[in-house]
Chain A
Amino acid sequence: MLRYILKRLLWLIPVMVGVITIVFAITVLTPGDPAASLLDRNATQEQIDEVHHRLGLDKPVLERWFNYVVGVFTRFDFGTSYTTMQPVRDEVLAKLPYTLILAVVSVSLAVLIGIPLGVWSALKQYTITDGSVLFLSVLFVSMPNFWLSMLLISLLSVSLGLLPSFFVNGDWTGWIMPIVVATIGSMAQFIRITRSSMLEVMRQDYIRTARAKGQKEDVIVMHHMMRNAMIPVATSIGSGLGNALGGNMTVEIVFSLPGIGSYIVNAISTRNYPGMLGGILVTAIMFTVVNLLVDIAYVIIDPRLKSQITGKKASKRKLNQMLREQGVTV
């Protein structure tokens, strides 16, 4: 098990190098000169050269790429922001808690509310309850979260004056609306996935067997159905967290929440490439770590996988195949 986790952690290295390469490629293809946007229009060539030298832009691309990769792995150095001249690492780390809190709290709430609702809806298939839960969830999935944010601001802040319309540090009430919006979006996903997974399990032979031998209905639901139905739901928690890391960007912007998403958008609009690269890199690292945690949780939920990792006849091929069948990326 430890070896497996260690191996997955090592996978972070190629991920980081790959992400750096992709973002570097994008910035290299960009027309225009970041130095020019930092200076005013009638800057002399000398001034531009000076800025180039200061930002390290006078070196060839491959050298810059290599230095950046070495910097990240040896000194944990994510470059220097073009706009503030501060280390990107410190800036991104200061923004990280906001994004993490928003993602973790909203996904946890979504799981706590969404899974019971999905189970309930599946048990009541073909009834009005099922229909309305399903309809509401498809409605919520279809709403753009920045639109929902603005509707809530219009209702709760402008009309009723109950909650602040934007986030201010130190005022916890500013968290309520961003979290509600983020929760509603991912909750709808969990309802849908849980419901269809439950419906699939409910038709299995072992459920009929359990009923035939006279097992109590709540034991059937809790032990026979839920344990098996939760396996695909567990993967979707991982992808839900992953989606939250990227998708809450617009929520952060509407509520002026100083998270990584709004940092990246700011960096992009000011052509602060190291800021953009650092933000995207940290998001990708979080995404990969979340996926690792989900896969570990997976092994704990599904005993078939555990023997594949820790058992005597551990077979890498079979394990990968089983993980893939469940939709896990290995």
Chain B
Amino acid sequence: MAKNLTPEMQKINARRTKHGKVRQSTPGKEAWLRLIRNKVAILGMIILILLALVAILAPVLTPYGFDEVNMKDKLQFPSAKHPFGTDQLGRDMLTRCIYGTRITMPIAIFAVLFAILVGGVLGIIAAYFGGTVDNTIMRIIDIWGSIPGIMLAIAIVACLGNNETVLVIGLSMGAVPNMARTFRGAIFTVIDSDYVESSKAMGASNFRIMFRHLVPNAVGPVILAIVGLLGVEVLCVSALSFVGVGISPPTPEWGSLLSTGRQYLSSHAYLCLFPGIMIMLAVLGFNLLGDGLRDALDPRLK
């Protein structure tokens, strides 16, 4: 049971007890309640859930295949039959945009997960051990971070090959410095707490202190950074494909759809319009959710 309750939490608990429900409120529960009452966050979640459904239900949603060539109907402007129009090979753009969800989103999500794994561990170790370990790790991170993330990703992907695995690794390598700094900063805010000292006194292992005590308590800023990074990575995946080093054209990745559409910009601008809207929706979903989370985790600003 949580001992150090804020007055706000005590009030909530008191109210619940009065109504006959004895349920303790914890900071996490409270943040969750604030989150689902936050309209901005709900809007973001709705967008993301819709995109996830679109990705899962892609074959059901559209009568065409994403690589179904139909030269008779090439470069058709949007109509009832093809709401987003067709491209230079007569492929339905709506279908290609829908299938793009299946490609861009997982790459972005896996890139972020991998960046959390590498950067998070580095940041936690740096913050926990401090001193020389901290200095060494952070110096390396500073050097690593002086190459803009997207440039590092482009260099890695272009040199090591255009497939999804390399793309995930390249993008995550660009994001590691950011993650390491976030984790380190978040751990620093809780490392001097009494509960860390007491578990040290009780002989808990470093590993246990790091992952059972420090990480769960420092999770707020970390979640914010992760949600923000997800949006950035969606942008990066499509930027890489747009530049021509990510996913290459026959696959309907949003950025590569845009790079194909760019050749028809002067006559068929709709080819560029819709994939861009898809990218924007995905990034918007993560950003709105992030804004809502910020308010939920730090209610002082609300």
Q: Which residues of A contact B (CB under 8 A)?
A: 14-15, 18-19, 22-23, 26-27, 29-31, 138-139, 141-144, 146-147, 150-151, 153-154, 158, 196, 199-200, 203, 242-243, 245-247, 249-250, 253-254, 261, 264-265, 268-269, 276, 280, 283-284, 287-288, 324, 327, 329
Contact = CB atoms under 8 A, between A and B. Distances in A.
Interface string B227-250: 000010001001100111100000
B262 interface: yes
Contacts of A246: 148-151
Nearest to B290: A138
Interface stretch (B63-71, B112-120, B191-199, B281-289): B281-289
Nearest to B184: A324
Interface of B: 138-140, 142-152, 154-156, 158-161, 181, 185, 188, 231, 235, 238-239, 242-245, 255, 258, 261-262, 265-266, 269, 272-273, 275-276, 279-280, 283-284, 287-288, 291, 294, 300-301
Contacts of A254: 262
Contact of A199 (B139, B144, B272, B301): B301
B287 A22 contact: no
Given A283-B147, A329-B142, A144 B287 contact: no
Contacts of B258: 144, 146-147, 150
B146 A288 contact: yes
Given A249-B150, A280-B147, A153 B265 contact: yes
A69 B230 CA distance: 36
B213 to A, nearest CB: 22
Contact of B276 (A23, A147, A249): A147
A199 B300 CA distance: 9
Contacts of A196: 294, 301
Nearest to A27: B159
A78 B245 CA distance: 24
B244 to A, nearest CB: 7
A26 B156 contact: yes
Contact of A269 (B152, B244, B294, B301): B244
A151 B270 CA distance: 10
A250 B272 contact: no
Contacts of A22: 143-144, 147, 152
Contacts of B301: 196, 199-200
A203 B276 contact: no
A23 B155 CA distance: 8
B154 A265 contact: yes
Nearest to A277: B155
Contact of B269 (A29, A158, A243, A324): A158
Contact of A268 (B149, B155, B181, B262): B155
Nearest to A197: B301
A172 B143 CA distance: 36
A144 B284 contact: no
Contacts of B155: 23, 26, 264, 268, 276, 280
A264 B288 contact: no
B151 A283 contact: yes
Given A147-B275, A151-B272, 17 more contacts: A22-B147, A22-B152, A27-B159, A142-B231, A142-B280, A144-B242, A144-B258, A153-B265, A154-B269, A200-B300, A246-B149, A247-B150, A253-B242, A269-B244, A283-B147, A327-B185, A329-B181
A129 B30 CA distance: 29
A283 B262 contact: no
Given A200-B300, A264-B154, A154 B146 contact: no
